[in-house]
């Protein structure tokens, strides 16, 4: 099955099925990132954020950074 066929099928899935697919993809991505450790032996930081419909609103948002302890489970 090609990537295009898979993407076309996603449009026909229920919200619950899409949530299951998203969870599976997140687990797969986490496994891949854990296998690609940086030189210091830790995974590279990855930041995800939603896109704003109106980029001019960016000044209205405050960036918050939270650091987890080194032994925190991801």
pLDDT at 41: 55
Which ranges of 3-47 would DSSP assign to H, the alpha helix? 3-10, 15-35
> Does the pTM exceed 0.75?
no
pLDDT at 28: 87
Give CA–CA dist 11/3, Å, rounded.
Answer: 13
pLDDT in single tens digits along all 74 residues of the chain: 888 998 899 999 998 999 999 998 888 888 877 666 554 555 566 666 667 777 777 777 777 777 877 787 66
Domain ranges in the chain are 1-40
């Amino acid at each position: 099955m090609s990537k295009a066929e898979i993407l076309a099928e996603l449009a026909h899935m229920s919200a619950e099925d899409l949530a299951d697919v998203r969870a599976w993809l997140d687990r797969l991505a986490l496994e891949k990132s854990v296998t690609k450790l940086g030189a210091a032996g830790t995974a590279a930081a990855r930041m995800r954020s939603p896109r704003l419909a109106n980029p001019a609103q960016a000044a209205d948002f405050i960036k918050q950074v939270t650091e987890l302890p080194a032994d925190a489970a991801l």
